[in-house]
């Protein structure tokens, strides 16, 4: 395959090349790529902003992460944060640090994923920056969204007695990571051995190409349910529910038998001789939504098979506990990712 050096285009040529096919989808995007700054008008709605930094070797490994998937996921992890505020994402800006080992073709592949995510979620890419990097691939994405005045949902407003709800299923992305890390280790020791990932497409897909839960936010709006608190599950359910408990000054009870786990994840976890419940509680990278609602809204939730009620909020004195399938009671501990660990 032909390789085009990025340096052959120059900075402005590169920007023109990467942004030549942009078509703005949102009326709030007044000025996009091409000026010194984007101009956005949310017409009386409140603006929600979030940023995530993804660093090669810390957040992703290019040995098993296709660039198109990486572009898609870089957008999704930010959109998930916007949805977690009960808001609608409308724009993104992207900053990249790239080393000279990347060709123009490689960058095109990354942007293919970025544009696929923008199209799927109705979001406009309205700006960004590229620079050279001595330390691998660095990605910074900022997402901007809108929400009707005072309809945003924080972590700190759960109430005692509220039901704890989770979208989708948990733990699969973590198990997918275990498979890919195993195959990477085997490849390093025996480069001629073919990867053995048959039957694991679900868990690997959950890691490499997650989706943001736009559908859940749309469902809640349609049913006129406003969560009392909400956040996305990027560091594992146990870490996230402890955030809500701390910020809302409450305790909680979770039930192990209510945790949503996919059959594919269970089978995969057993191959590594690890407990599926541990994966569901502490896995991370699920990008599902965790939210609390008043008990009076329970009947509306039954309409959606993608939402599981996994527990309820209690007085702060009771702490945060999980009731096991055998009836045991254990304190919930945070096992979330520590990206700053050496």
Interval 305-331: pLDDT, tens: 999 999 999 999 999 999 999 999 999
CATH number at residue 134: 3.30.1330.10
| pTM as predicted | 0.92
pLDDT computed for residue 24 by the predictor: 85
Q: What share of the chain is helix, strand, coil (3-state, %, to 5)?
A: 35, 25, 40
- pLDDT band for position 39 (cuts 50, 70, 90): very high
With respect to residue 128, please indicate whether it lies within any of the assigned structural domains.
yes
Question: Do 171 and 320 belong together in one domain?
Answer: yes
Say whether 311 sits in a helix, a strand or coil.
Answer: strand
Rounded to whole angstroms, the Cα distance separating 230 from 228 reads 7
Domain of residue 42, residue span = 6-147
pLDDT computed for residue 342 by the predictor: 43
Domains in the chain: how many in total? 2
Question: Do 122 and 21 belong together in one domain?
Answer: yes
Rounded to whole angstroms, the Cα distance separating 185 from 189 reads 6
Q: Could you say which of 116, 147, 178 is where a domain stops? A: 147
Query: Rounded mean pLDDT of 214-227?
Result: 96
Question: Do 167 and 69 belong together in one domain?
Answer: no
**What count of Cα atoms within 13 Å lies in the side-chain half-sphere of residue 181?**
10
With respect to residue 25, please indicate whether it lies within any of the assigned structural domains.
yes
Question: Do 217 and 317 belong together in one domain?
Answer: yes
Residues in contact with 285: Cβ distance below 8 Å, sequence separation at least 6, in sequence order: 173, 174, 177, 206, 207, 210, 234, 337
CA-only gyration radius of the chain, Å: 21
With respect to residue 240, please indicate whether it lies within any of the assigned structural domains.
yes
Query: Rounded mean pLDDT of 207-213?
Result: 97
With respect to residue 112, please indicate whether it lies within any of the assigned structural domains.
yes
- pLDDT band for position 152 (cuts 50, 70, 90): very high
Question: Do 167 and 224 belong together in one domain?
Answer: yes
Cα-Cα end-to-end distance for the chain: 38
Closest CA to 21 of 33, 39, 7, 5: 33
Say whether 90 sits in a helix, a strand or coil.
Answer: strand
With respect to residue 338, please indicate whether it lies within any of the assigned structural domains.
no
Question: Do 111 and 239 belong together in one domain?
Answer: no
With respect to residue 55, please indicate whether it lies within any of the assigned structural domains.
yes
Question: Do 105 and 186 belong together in one domain?
Answer: no
Rounded to whole angstroms, the Cα distance separating 5 from 107 reads 10
pLDDT at 234 exceeding the cut of 80 = yes
Closest CA to 166 of 337, 274, 301: 301
Looking at every residue in the chain, the average pLDDT score rounds to 92
Rounded to whole angstroms, the Cα distance separating 91 from 198 reads 37
Query: Rounded mean pLDDT of 110-135?
Result: 93
Unique residue bearing structure tokens 């406009």: 124
Question: Do 110 and 176 belong together in one domain?
Answer: no
With respect to residue 340, please indicate whether it lies within any of the assigned structural domains.
no
With respect to residue 153, please indicate whether it lies within any of the assigned structural domains.
no
Rounded to whole angstroms, the Cα distance separating 191 from 209 reads 26
Question: Do 43 and 126 belong together in one domain?
Answer: yes
Write out pLDDT tens, residues 60-76: 999 999 999 999 999 99
Question: Do 102 and 239 belong together in one domain?
Answer: no
Question: Do 106 and 243 belong together in one domain?
Answer: no
Rounded to whole angstroms, the Cα distance separating 282 from 289 reads 15
Burial of 46 (0-12, 13-18, 19+ CB in 10 A): middle
Q: Could you say which of 147, 178, 201 is where a domain stops? A: 147
Closest CA to 145 of 79, 71, 73: 79
pLDDT: is 127 or 337 the higher one? 127
Can you list the alpha helix ranges (DSSP code H) found in the chain?
10-19, 67-83, 104-121, 172-189, 201-208, 214-222, 237-248, 263-271, 276-282, 298-301
CB 233 within 8 A of CB 169: no
């Amino acid at each position: 395959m032909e390789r085009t050096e990025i340096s052959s285009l120059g900075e402005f040529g590169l920007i023109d090349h990467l942004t030549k096919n942009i078509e703005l989808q949102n009326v709030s995007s007044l000025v996009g790529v091409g000026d010194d700054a984007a101009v956005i008008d949310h017409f009386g709605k409140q603006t929600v902003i979030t940023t995530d930094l993804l660093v090669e070797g810390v957040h992703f490994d290019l040995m098993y992460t296709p660039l198109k998937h990486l572009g898609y996921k870089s957008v999704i992890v930010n959109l998930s944060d916007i949805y977690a505020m009960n808001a609608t994402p409308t724009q993104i800006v992207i900053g990249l640090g790239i080393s000279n080992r990347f060709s123009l073709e490689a960058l095109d592949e990354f942007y293919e994923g970025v544009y696929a995510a923008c199209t799927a979620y109705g979001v406009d890419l309205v700006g960004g920056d590229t620079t050279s990097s001595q330390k691998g691939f660095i990605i910074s994405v900022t997402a901007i969204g809108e929400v009707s005045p005072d309809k945003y949902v924080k972590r700190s407003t759960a109430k005692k007695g509220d039901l704890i709800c989770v979208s989708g299923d948990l733990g699969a992305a973590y198990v997918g990571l275990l498979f890919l890390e195993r195959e990477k280790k085997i490849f390093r020791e025996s480069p001629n051995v073919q990867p053995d990932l048959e039957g694991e497409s679900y868990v690997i897909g959950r890691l490499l190409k997650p989706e943001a839960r736009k559908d859940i936010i749309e469902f809640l709006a349609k049913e006129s349910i406003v969560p009392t608190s909400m956040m996305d599950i990027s560091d594992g359910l146990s870490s996230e529910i402890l955030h809500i408990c701390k910020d809302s000054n409450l305790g909680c009870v979770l039930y192990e038998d209510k945790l949503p786990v996919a059959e594919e994840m269970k089978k995969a976890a057993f191959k590594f001789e690890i407990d599926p419940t541990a994966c569901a509680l502490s896995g991370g990278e699920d990008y599902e939504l965790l939210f609390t609602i008043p008990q009076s809204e329970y009947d509306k939730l039954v309409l959606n098979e993608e939402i599981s009620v996994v527990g309820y909020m209690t007085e702060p004195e009771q702490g945060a506990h999980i009731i096991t399938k055998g009836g045991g009671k254990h304190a919930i501990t945070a096992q979330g990712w520590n990206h700053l660990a050496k």
